[in-house]
Amino acid sequence: MGILDSKGFWAGGRRAYLRVLRDEEKETLLPLQQELQRVANLTTKRSLKCDIRSIKAEFRKRRKAAASSRFGTV
């Protein structure tokens, strides 16, 4: 598993969790970004951009929460 920190938590836990979040974000955004490239309708493009912004904001919140979680610093 790896080295434990002074509180008994896996020292690499935060880094691993952030990597999973990054991968999940990319996987979630990819179809929307691909669709954005294909679509010509401006209303649909605006809607897709709004969805992309919302997803990015959600993952930003999750990364920020991880920064203050029990994982500590990297």
The residue among 1, 24, 4, 2 whose CA lies nearest residue 72 is 4
pLDDT tens readout for residues 20-63? 999 999 999 999 999 999 999 999 999 999 999 999 999 999 99
Q: In the chain, what are the domain boundaries? A: 13-67
Please check whether residue 2 is in contact with residue 11, taking contact to mean a CB–CB distance below 8 angstroms. Answer: yes
Query: 15 falls in which pLDDT band (50, 70, 90)?
Result: confident
Please say if the pLDDT value at position 68 is more than 90: no
* pTM assigned to the model: 0.77
Please check whether residue 11 is in contact with residue 66, taking contact to mean a CB–CB distance below 8 angstroms. Answer: no
Q: Tell me 38's DSSP state.
A: H
